[in-house]
């Protein structure tokens, strides 16, 4: 059915219909744009989620403090979990690729077509309005011709009446009668001309009207119909089909990925995983020997506070002397004492590391001095032995501190702490320049980046402090600009005989300078100045 034949009298309705179709394409373009953004964000979030957990698996696999890690990583449950992460990455990659094609090949086509349809709509109905205006102009001309004809008829009748009256009047002169006769004939001739023009105008207007409604307007309306069918209906038909095909292509990818997960899950074996742990962690050692009674003479031993040797200690004394290892702390519930004990243990280990670092620095200075003067090999070996012992102790303390810091980061939701610096132990020689053999890359969360490896910075700070005291330099030299206010997130206890300053958690401080080793020069509200670790702060 044709718009031009069936809807010739519904031009206004068709214009509204065409305008709505143009707006509809704009709405589809807006929808596709937002859908594309959602798909992209979805793909990025899936990929980020999968990568985070895969990196966590890699980090755990390298953690030497967990002897059971290898068995856990090799178990059937962990292998299935790895398949889940791989599936998530595959789905993310598939959605990202489909979204790029969707945005470049589909959405941009819809946007371009909507703009073209908008221009075509305006031109088509502008042409219709011009044709209608021409028809109205002809109709107005017919009205004017009709009015002119009526005026001429009235003038003719008036002139004829005047002539007849004068012709019948005995008192009228022959000259007046002749003048009125000529005027009457003149008016009659003008009326005939107006009648002919009016008749011709009607014929022309009717011909133009027929041409407008039977030829011109139907052709214009049929062009609107053809444009709508091709540039909107048929265009969107092909676009929807391609759209469905594109996203249907993700279905086999999902099915394949989840089939791999399903297959791996079917292979999960509790017995296999348990036996694997036993096989990889058992030592083969026998049970401890039985206790043997050793007979001794009865000796009364003085005890504190008059208590007998067998008197049970009070609960407070037991708590004071109970040594909680790092493993004990990590196994505690975070909100039921684990958080407090973990932070306390990190600080305690930090103090031990600083003390050991001071000793290591002194031994290292002694070693450098002995290298430049004659000395016995035994003396040099003794110094190296002391240095090696200190390196082993510092490495162990750092590893224990890192163990607790990981527990804190896991429960705080912050990034994984930086792997601690390890000193050379086995291959120490008098010519060793730097004992540092490895340092992990920077972690994502700067708040815990310094917890496991703060000790190295403290030694540098003490050496720097001694140098400054000798030269009399100001503590706030090389400021980083105007003081910036920060908030202490944790309590910090300063090391004695240093330029550090103790600050309780929650204090607002002014940072005067930031050093490359992570230590900041700060001013407290009471005016005191000193150094604090930057990782203990956050912007106020």
DSSP 408-443: HHHHHT-PPPPPPPEE--TT--TT----EEE-PPPP
CA distance 234 to 225: 12
CB under 8 A, 24+ apart: contacts of 393-399: 393/356, 394/353, 394/356, 394/357, 394/360, 394/423, 394/455, 395/420, 395/422, 395/423, 395/425, 397/349, 397/352, 397/353, 397/356, 397/455, 398/353, 398/422, 398/452, 398/453, 398/455, 399/64, 399/65
The pTM of the full predicted model, rounded to 2 decimals, is 0.42
Each residue of 148-157: pLDDT tens digit?
A: 889 999 989 9
Burial category of 534 from C-beta neighbours within 10 Å (exposed 0-12, middle 13-18, buried 19 and up): buried
- Using alpha carbons, select from 343, 352, 487 the residue that is nearest to residue 412: 343
For residue 509, what pLDDT is reported? 93
Q: What is the 3-state secondary structure (H, E, C) of 208-266?
A: HHHHHHHHHHHHHHHHHHHHHHHHHHHHHHHHHHHHHHHHHCHHHHHHHHHHHHHHHHH
Tell which residue, 422, 417, 438, has the closest CA to residue 56.
417
Task: Judge whether 370 and 383 are in contact, CB under 8 Å.
Answer: yes
pLDDT score of 453: 36
Residue-level pLDDT at 64: 61
10-residue stretch averages of pLDDT, the chain, 540 residues long: 76 84 87 86 90 84 68 78 86 84 81 86 86 87 89 90 85 85 89 90 86 84 82 84 80 76 80 78 72 53 39 38 62 70 84 86 73 63 81 87 82 76 70 40 33 37 38 37 78 80 90 80 90 83
CA distance 422 to 452: 11
pLDDT digits (tens, 9 = 90+) for 206-218: 888 888 888 888 8
For residue 382, what pLDDT is reported?
75
Give the chain's end-to-end CA distance (angstroms, integer): 73
pLDDT at position 476, please? 37
Write the CB contacts of 538 (distance below 8 Å, at least 6 apart in sequence): 447, 486, 487, 489
pLDDT score, position 399: 85
CA distances from 529 to 477, 491, 493, 500 (A): 12, 16, 14, 9
Q: Phi and psi (nearest 5°) for 313? A: -70, 155
The one-character DSSP state at 534 is G
Q: How far apart are CA 439 and CA 418, in angstroms?
A: 8
């Amino acid at each position: 059915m044709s718009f031009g034949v069936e809807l010739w009298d519904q031009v206004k309705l068709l214009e509204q219909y065409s305008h709505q179709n143009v707006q509809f394409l704009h709405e589809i373009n807006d929808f596709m744009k937002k859908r594309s953004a959602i798909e992209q964000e979805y793909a990025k979030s899936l990929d980020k989620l999968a990568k985070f957990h895969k990196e966590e698996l890699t980090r755990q696999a390298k953690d030497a403090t967990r002897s059971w890690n290898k068995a856990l990583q090799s178990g059937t449950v962990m292998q299935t979990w790895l398949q889940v992460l791989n599936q998530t990455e595959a789905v993310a990659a598939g959605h990202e690729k489909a979204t790029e094609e969707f945005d470049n090949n589909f959405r941009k086509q819809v946007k371009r077509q909507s703009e073209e349809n908008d221009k075509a709509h305006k031109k088509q109905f502008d042409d219709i309005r011009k044709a209608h205006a021409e028809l109205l102009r002809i109709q107005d001309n017919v009205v004017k011709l009709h009015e002119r004809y009526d005026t001429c008829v009235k003038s003719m009748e008036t002139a004829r009446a005047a002539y007849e009256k004068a012709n019948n009047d005995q008192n009228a002169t022959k000259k007046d009668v002749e003048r009125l006769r000529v005027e009457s004939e003149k008016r009659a001739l003008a009326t005939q001309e107006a009648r002919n023009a009016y008749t011709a105008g009607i014929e022309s207007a009717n011909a133009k009207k027929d041409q407008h409604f039977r030829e011109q307007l139907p052709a214009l309306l049929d062009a609107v119909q053809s444009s709508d069918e091709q540039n909107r209906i048929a265009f969107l038909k092909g676009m929807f089909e391609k759209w469905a095909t594109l996203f249907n292509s993700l279905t086999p990818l999902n099915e394949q990925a989840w089939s791999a997960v399903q297959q791996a899950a079917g292979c999960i074996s509790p017995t296999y995983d348990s036996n694997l742990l036993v096989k990889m962690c058992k030592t083969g050692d026998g049970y401890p020997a039985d206790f043997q009674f050793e007979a001794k003479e009865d000796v009364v031993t003085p005890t504190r506070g008059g208590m007998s040797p067998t008197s049970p200690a009070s609960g407070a004394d037991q708590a004071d002397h109970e040594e909680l290892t790092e493993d004990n702390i990590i196994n505690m519930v975070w909100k039921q004492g684990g958080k407090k004990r973990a932070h306390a243990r990190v600080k305690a280990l930090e103090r031990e590391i600083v003390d050991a670092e001071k000793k290591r620095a002194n031994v290292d200075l002694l070693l450098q001095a002995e290298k430049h003067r004659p000395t016995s090999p035994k003396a040099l070996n003794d110094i190296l032995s002391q240095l090696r012992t200190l390196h082993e102790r510092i490495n162990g303390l750092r590893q224990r501190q890192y163990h607790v810091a990981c527990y804190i980061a896991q429960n705080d939701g912050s990034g994984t702490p930086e792997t601690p610096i390890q000193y050379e132990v086995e291959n120490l020689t008098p010519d060793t320049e730097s004992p540092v053999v490895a340092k992990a890359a920077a972690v994502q969360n700067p708040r815990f980046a310094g917890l496991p490896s703060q000790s190295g910075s403290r030694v540098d700070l003490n050496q720097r402090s001694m140098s400054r005291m000798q030269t009399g330099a100001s503590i706030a030299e090389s400021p980083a600009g105007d003081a910036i206010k920060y908030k202490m997130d944790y309590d910090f206890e300063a090391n004695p005989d240093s330029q550090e300053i103790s600050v309780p958690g929650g204090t607002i401080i002014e940072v005067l300078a930031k050093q490359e080793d992570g230590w900041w020069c700060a001013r407290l509200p009471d005016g005191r100045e000193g150094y604090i670790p930057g990782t203990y702060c956050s912007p106020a």
